[in-house]
Amino acid sequence: MANQPWLNRVASKVEHAQQLYHRLILVIGSPSAGRVVAEHLDLKRVNVSMELGERLLDLSVRQRPLRVGRLLQEIVGGTTGEAVVLDNLEILFERSLAQDPLRLLQSLSRNRTVVAIWSGMLDDGSLTYAVPGHPEHRRYPATDLLLVTARNHRGR
């Protein structure tokens, strides 16, 4: 797995991201991509749904949307190194949390390089999550984003 071209593209984008305002690389890939990227680049991997979910349990339903950003900052801030891999992002799309997942990831990447494993698709110049009509569906223009497609071994 370590000799796959998409992993080299991720490594290259991690180096390039150091010069950018948002140091965010989105890896559009399979469920195992986070583990593979973290091992290949020797980075700390955070299971966002598990870590954030545990911290949200102590909060009321009304408090949760207000604290997501701060809690995620604490989780990422608790890791060492210049870059971190964020995996299992599904909780960020939970409607009750009322978050904009891409903007949240971008804000996290202002002070540290973030490699986020996006379990959606790149389709016709748009980054998507879930299918249209699904309550968690999101669609973003894929412009000004550092993207690597792991699933189909293509990248931008």
Q: Domain ranges in the chain?
A: 5-155
Residue 99, pLDDT > 60, answer yes
SS3 state of residue 91: helix
Cα separations in angstroms, 58 against 12, 34, 47: 39, 27, 18
The Cα–Cα gap between 50 and 90 comes to 10
Helices 33-41 and 5-17 pack at an angle, to 10 degrees, of 70
**Residue 108, pLDDT above cutoff 50:** yes
More confident residue, 31 or 135: 135
Across 6-88, the runs of DSSP E, i.e. the strands, are 24-28, 44-47, 83-87
Are 37 and 115 a contacting pair, CB within 8 Å? yes
pTM of the model: 0.91
Q: Architecture of domain 5-155 in CATH? A: 3-Layer(aba) Sandwich (3.40)
pLDDT tens per residue, range 119-156: 999 988 999 999 999 999 999 999 999 999 985 433 33
